[in-house]
Amino acid sequence: MKNYKIAIINSSSFGKYFPNHLERLEKIGEVKHFTFENNIPGKELAEALQDFNIVIASVRPFFNKEFFDNKKQPLLLLSRHGIGFNNVDVVAAKEHGTIVTIVPPLVERDAVAENAVTNLLALIRQTVQSQEAVKSNEWKKRASFLGINVTGKVIGIIGCGNIGSRVAEIFKHGFNARLLVVDPNVNVDWANQNNIEIVELDYLLQNADIISLNASLNETSYHILKAPQFSLMKKGVYITNTARAELIDETALLNALDNGTVAGHATDVMYVEPSYSDHPLVKHPKVLVTPHTSAYAIECLQGMGEKCVQDVENFVNNLELQSVVS
C-alpha cells in the first residue's frame, strides 16, 4: 500500500466521540491533528502539510491557489468534514490533481436547522439570562425576562435549500407561522405544498418579524444584509444565523442592534473563530453567540465522521467516491 499520511485540520470533534473513526484511519497511515489560524497564508499552510497527502478539513483555514501551488508533494484527497466547501479553491485543487469531497447535505440538515430555531428561542425568551439569575439567587428578577411568541409570526428565510427548507418547515408546522422565502433556486413544488411564499428580498425585509439566514456563501450572498437592508426591516426584528457570518455586514448589524431595529441576534458563526469575550458581538447584551456547534448532535457528528473515513478508505482502495466537488 502507498505510504499515506493523513492530516485532520482544525476539527475539535473528529474522533473525539467516535474513536473508531480514528482507528480506521490509523490502519491506513499516520494520522496527525493540526490547528491553524483561520487566515494562515496558503504557502505557510502548504509547508506545514508538505508531508501529508490526505487531508480531512474543517470550515477553516482556506485551501487557496497559493496553498496548492506551494504543495510540492501532491495532495491526493481533501475530504471536507462538513457540507460547504467555500474555503477550498476547487479549481486550483483540480488543476493540481486533488480530489475534493464533502459530506452529503442531508447529514447536517436536521441538526443545523434545529439549532437555528433553538438559538432563536433561547434569545427571544432570554433563557441564558434567566438561568443565570436563578444560579445567582435572583429568582425575583423573573419579570424582567420578557420575550415574544413565535407562533403566528412572519418568518423570513434567506436561503431555502437543504437546511433553510427544514428551518422553514419547523416554523411553518411547529409555530403556524407565515413563511416568506428568498432563494433563486427554491423548490416551487415544495413551497406550494407547504403554503410558503416565494418573495423578493426587500419584501421579506419589510414584513418579517424574524429572519433566518441559511444561504450558502458566494459572490451574490456576501453581505446580503448591510446598512440599506437593515433600514428596510421592521423595528424589533430578530435574526438567527447558522450559515456564515459573512452574510452580514458586522458594522451595520451592530448599528441596527444599538438603534433598536434588531431586537436580538443569535449566531453560531463568526468572522473570526474562535471569538472571545472582548468581541463587540460577544459582549453585546442583545446577542447570543454559540461556538459553531450547530452540527454538534450525535447523529450528525457520527454521519460526518463516517463519510470522511469512508472517503479515505474508498480512495486508497480505488473505490468510487461520493459527493465529489472537484
Q: What confidence tens digit (pLDDT) does each residue in 263-297 have?
A: 999 999 999 999 999 999 999 999 999 999 999 99
Cα-trace Rg, the chain:
21
The secondary structure of residue 121, as a DSSP letter, is: H
In this predicted structure, what is the pLDDT of residue 204? 98
Question: What residues are annotated to the active site?
Answer: 244, 273, 292
Q: Mean pLDDT across the chain, nearest whole number?
A: 97
Our CA angle for 278, 279, 281, nearest 5°, is 130
| CATH class, range 5-102+298-317 | alpha beta
The secondary structure of residue 319, as a DSSP letter, is: P
Q: Which long-range contacts (CB under 8 A, 24 or more apart) does 32-39 make?
A: 32/5, 32/6, 32/7, 32/8, 33/7, 33/8, 34/7, 34/8, 34/9, 34/10, 35/9, 35/10, 36/9, 36/10, 36/60, 36/61, 37/61, 38/62, 38/272, 38/273
Q: Domain 107-289 is classified in which CATH homologous superfamily?
A: NAD(P)-binding Rossmann-like Domain (3.40.50.720)
Measure the CA–CA gap between 313 and 300, rounded to whole angstroms.
20
Q: What confidence tens digit (pLDDT) does each residue in 225-275 have?
A: 999 999 999 999 999 999 999 999 999 999 999 999 999 999 999 999 999
Does 5-102+298-317 match 107-289 in CATH topology? yes
Domain boundaries, the chain: 5-102+298-317, 107-289
Cβ within 8 Å of residue 81, ≥6 positions away: 11, 14, 56, 57, 58, 103, 304, 305, 308
In this predicted structure, what is the pLDDT of residue 1? 56
Q: What confidence tens digit (pLDDT) does each residue in 59-93 have?
A: 999 999 999 999 999 999 999 999 999 999 999 99
Answer for the pair 254, 284: CB distance below 8 angstroms, yes or no.
yes
